[in-house]
Every structure is written in structure tokens, then in C-alpha cells.
Structure 1
């Protein structure tokens, strides 16, 4: 990331130890107040937002949405990410200035050999020789790309096959929790998580009990009869598809048999699973808009259940974190959380971090990136011991008023 908020100079955040390239499940970013920790998480959020919304959400008659360092407003902003999507390593990046997209590129690296999917310089877009424009439809999109929008964003909206894996990684795998969330949003996310399966409540409640916040139970209203059958059917389809995805990952023979009998690949199953989950969330949102979440929290020794607005800041903070963390563990996501220990005791925050460090609770390869100004979370061993499987970075602000990332 370059020239985003306090990160004026090029900074690189690596999610692995030493020379890599094996990623660690936990990456901690430590620094004092106003050092620039939030800028790092915000850079991830800004890159994701640009990929998902530059076509549909940005003003077509204005410059691109960016937040350069106040001391360098005319310098370009750049984001680059390396990731694995549908089993293939990718590198994707783009540069923005105040007028539009200066450059954009997507490369694959199968078997460590770089292949150009596309490279863009201003209005000129070159498609790599390994990706035939007529076959994948990339060429048809080129005349439609606005100067202030990303080609990957348009390709995701139009489902251009060659670019779909990279787009879906930003849409479905990278999740960012930062900024203020009101209690209605927290209740919605928690209600959606609990309504999917009884097992979700059975796993979440012990974590709430261990926090010592006095909560003995969480109540959620039954699904609206107008939506109940549809939600039940979707939940069944999601469970069966997830089972098939896991079987394909653990048994090549099962994947081969599925291909031969039904013509379905593991990638197709994974995409269908993502589509089903998105459809389920959209349907749940429509139901909540009609009748509300119906969330109540029961406290030991108190007869009347609490509304979420009655809860302490620490309780709301924990209720905000648990659903995205548990979803990340279930689906093998990359979750970035700004100020992870806000309003929570260090012991409770440490317990949440260990969910990602433990192979028993993190069996799908989820990754947690978090910022903190609490050295206790670092000194506990979350980064100093090989067995904790963590990487630690420090953010510091220089005398020039810019932030720097330093590996610890």
C-alpha cells in the first residue's frame, strides 16, 4: 500500500514469518495511539471497496474514491495484494490519482510462472496471451470501463470468467471489521449467524459465558412464516454443498467421481456455496427489514431479558466480534479487525485470538489480521513463540508525520 492516509511511503504487510511463503494464521499489528494502525486495516477495506463498488458505487463523473496522505494529495495511491483464489496464486494491483485509474494489473502464478491476465495503463488494456479475449469476454468489457473504475470491478459484475476467481476472493474471502457499528448492525449480524443452525448458538454461548459478562442465554425470534420455508431450504442446500466441498478437498477420488457422474468440479461447488450463502443473507435481510431481528439476551438472576441497547460497551464489542470470527473459522476466510481488544479485557481478547492459532478450532486455514495498542496481547506469546503460529508487526509514526510498518 502506498499513499493511503498516514501510509505515505510504500509499505508491505506480509502474512508469514521470515522468508515465507507459508502463511501464518494470525498477524498482529502493534503500535501506540495515532501511530497509523487503523490506516493499515483501512487500506485493506479501501482496496476491497474499490474492487466491489468502483463501477456501481463511485460517481461516474468524479475522480476515484481515495484517501491520500494530507501532505501528498497529488501523489498516486497504490494497492497490491497477493492471494490464492480457487487454488491459483494471483497478484492484483492498481494505481489511482485524483482523475482516474492510472494502472491496473492481474497476474496468475501457477507453478511459480507469471502469466499476465491483463495489464492496464490509462485507457490502454492488454490481455495476456494465455487468456483468449474472445473466449473469456474480457475484450468486450474494455470499451465499457470508465476512467475512474476498475476493470476487475466491471468483470465481477459482468461475470467475465477469467477474472471471476480474483473478484470473488475480494467479495467472499477478504472480510474487514473497522469503524463504528451501531447496535442494530450488531444485532442483525448476530441474528443471522444464530438463525443458520442450532450448532452456532451451542458454540457461541460458551464463549459468552467465559467472558464473564453475566449473559446466560441468547434468544432469537423464530423465522417469519413467509420466509421460514425458504430459509430452511437454503440452509439445507448450504449444509449439503459445504459437505460436498469438504469431501472434495479431503478425497481426490470423491472429486473425480463427482466430475464423472455429474460434471461438477470442486471449483463449481465452491462458487455455488458462495452463491447460496449470499442468497441466504439477502433473504434474511429482507425478513429482518419486515419484522426486526427479535434478539434478546438473558442475564443470570434477572427475569426480564435485555435488548442489545441495554448492554455494556464491552458486551456489544464482543457480540460484534464473535459472528465474523466464527464465520471466518468455518469458511477459511481472511478477517482483518481494527482495534481488536477495544473495551474487552486482555484475557478475553487473547481467548478469541487463540481460536485462530489452534489447529483444532481453525481447521480450514482462516487468517486473522488485527491491530492493538495493548502490549499484553503481544507479550502473552501471540507472536513470540513458534508454536503460536503468529507474525507481529509494529507501526510507528516518524518525525515527518508518516507511518511505517516494521517486522518484529
Structure 2
């Protein structure tokens, strides 16, 4: 879960702005966080900042030019000021605070703290080229100390440690890679077809659920046709799907029955945490294999509309249909796995009642059983007029006379 997000000097967010995903000062985040504001007020800058932080954690080692400065987009009026991102989140049941500061040349600061029983413990703190490892984490044992000389001045230690599987830093890295999802802009039809086909191909239950939501949307879509898996990949996909289903069942049993978790560890030496990590790894492997199959032969996806004999290609869909098809797999995936999903301009090209219905899936306990969170920018009508319920955090972004954006709680 994500508790808070803070950003300084990114696009229109020149001064430090903090988004808290709780209400009433409590520690438990609400399932829905809505961010409103006028056109060009800076709403998209906030979602983009969250995406940039995630991208830096995942790709600063492999994706950033080693001979250039860190990838950042400061406010045009303050190009020489540092950019900073800080997130407070819970990963594998433990609260963390992670942040980093960038200038035009290097990573000038980076830190990861954990907060068991509300006590701060330093995992590591970085200032310039100096990196301090917290005494509780026995750096040599976990391999963090061995990575310190290898990290580039313009890359993140968490990025390197996550890819090298330094145990003390793995939970935080996996939170960014497996729990946080950010969607910006309008996806291309090919990307929509890929996401839709990937979700539909995972399980019959998931496919039936997605199809039910599409039919209920009232856009005329009655069925989705997907080509059979390429024979070269079919057996591998079936094996992965069976492994995923079996591991997911064990994870659920461990969550609902402490006795089962104890028995599993006693008899097989496998903990619930190891199972949860294995499930994430299997799902990522499945997605990668599906992507390779699609690159070889295409998605092979068509949509059936009521009263029309010829199936539609994704490119034939209306703007509303394309928007829903692009968003629905992400929404259902977040609900299925308890993810944090951030969406910029969630109501773009969608009728207000459809947007409210998607948001309602996160607000309803019967559909959001894994504690998924939705963060979105949009219009106040997206919550159906009921914007002050206790299950939603509400924020407004406004443009100042200095050309900067400021965030205010409602």
C-alpha cells in the first residue's frame, strides 16, 4: 500500500508538494484518492512524478546514460534546483520510507528507512558518494556493502540492489516493480490489444469477469475473440498458468489460515513470504512469454458487437470503447493482486457513469478484497457526486500566479 508521496521541482511542481492517501490522520490508506483541478493546473505533473520515481528505481542502472546526468524534468523556472521524490509505503507487511534527490549531474542523496513498531531504522543513507548502511542490517551478510562501490554517481543504489537481489533492499524494490502501476496518456490500439489479450489469456475466470464488465458498460460489445496460443508457446503458457494457479491458492491459504502457513514451513521449509515472491516472479515470467508470443504472431484479437456480424478490430472501436478496453485490464489486475494503480485523466473519453463504475470497484468491499488502491486525476463528477465519503481522499491542484502548481487537501 502507498501511504504518501512527496515531490519537489518536477515539471510544474516547483515547491515541495505532499499527497497523503489517508483521511483523518490515520495510518491506513483509503482505497480511492481523487485529484481534481482546472485544465493545465498540474494534475498530470503529479501522476508523471510518481511514474518518474518508479522508472528511476527500475531503470536508472540500465536505462540512464552512464555519461549523462540523471533523467529529470525540473520546473523551467528553476532548472538548477534539485528534484526530489519521497514515498511512504508498506511492502511485505513492513512500513518503508524511500526517497532520492537529483541534480543536473548526479544523485546527491538517497535513503531507505523502515519503521517497525513506529521506530525508524536506517537501511541505508546516501549523501553524494558516501553511503552509510544501518547497523541493524549487517551489510556484509545481505550483500549491500559489496554493491556500494559499484553504484554509479548518476544511478540509484536501490535500482542496483534490486536487480542484484540484495535481500535487505528487495522488499522495497519489488514494491516499485510489482505493486505500483502508473498509466499516463492514451495508449495506442496495439498496446490496448496487447494488454487486453494478456489479461484474457491468463484464466477463464478472469476472462469471464472482464467480459461481464464490458457487456455491462453498454457500449455494444458482447464478446471478445482471441486467437489460440501459438503452438510454440502453448505448452509453456499452460504450465505457467498451472503453476500460478497452484501458487496463488497456497498464498491465499497462508493468508487465511496461520496453521496452514506453519505446516507449509514445517514440512517443506517454504514461508508465506517466499510463496508470495514466487507468485510475483511466475506472473512476470508469464507476461514476458506472452509478449514474446505476440511479437512473433500478433495478438489476434477481435470484438463482437450486438447486431453486427463482422467482428471489430481494436482500431474500429469508438473513443469510449478504446478508452475502456485500455483501462479495464489494469483495473481488474490491480483488484486481483492488490496493487496501487495511478491513472491520469481517468474519465477521458468515457461517460461519467462508466468512470464512476470503475472507481466504485475499488470502493466496494466485495470487489476490492485485497486492499487495492486507485489514485486518479479527473473531474469531481467521477465520484458520482458523493465525494466526501470516508473511503476517499480528495485533493485539488491549483495554478499559482508564479506558474507553479500547489496541492491542497479537500
- Mapped pair 1:404 → 2:406: yes
Q: 1:352 aligns with which of 354, 358, 379?
A: 358
Match of 2:388 in 1: 384
Match of 1:267 in 2: 273
Match of 1:12 in 2: 18
**Displacement after TM superposition at 1:379 (Å):** 5.5
Match of 2:3 in 1: none
Q: 1:223 aligns with which of 215, 229, 232?
A: 229
How does the TM-score come out when normalised to structure 1? Answer: 0.98
Q: 1:328 aligns with which of 334, 359, 382?
A: 334
Task: Give 3-state SS (helix, strand or coil) of 1:253's partner.
Answer: helix
Query: CA separation in 2, counterparts of 1:311 and 1:212?
Result: 13
Query: CA separation in 2, counterparts of 1:237 and 1:272?
Result: 10
Q: 1:394 aligns with which of 372, 393, 396?
A: 396
Query: CA separation in 1, counterparts of 2:91 and 2:380?
Result: 34
Q: 2:184 aligns with which of 178, 184, 189?
A: 178
CA contact (8 A) 2:353 2:384 kept: no
Match of 2:252 in 1: 246
Q: Where does structure 1 lack aligned partners over 5 or more consecutive residues?
A: none
Task: Give 3-state SS (helix, strand or coil) of 1:13's partner.
Answer: strand
How well do the aligned residues superpose, as a CA RMSD in angstroms?
A: 0.8
Q: Where does structure 2 lack aligned partners over 5 or more consecutive residues?
A: 1-6
Query: CA separation in 2, counterparts of 1:303 and 1:180?
Result: 29
| C-alpha distance after superposition, 1:376-396 (max 9, x if no partner) | 124621x3123xx11110000
Query: CA separation in 2, counterparts of 1:303 and 1:339?
Result: 34
CA contact (8 A) 1:378 1:384 kept: no
Mean Cα deviation higher: 200-209 or 25-34: 200-209
**Which structure 1 residue ranges, 4+ long, deviate > 2 Å from structure 2?**
none
Match of 1:129 in 2: 135
- Mapped pair 1:66 → 2:93: no
How does the TM-score come out when normalised to structure 2? Answer: 0.98
Aligned residue pairs: how many?
Answer: 404
Query: CA separation in 2, counterparts of 1:327 and 1:287?
Result: 21
- Mapped pair 1:316 → 2:318: no
Query: CA separation in 1, counterparts of 2:228 and 2:319?
Result: 27
CA contact (8 A) 1:28 1:390 kept: yes
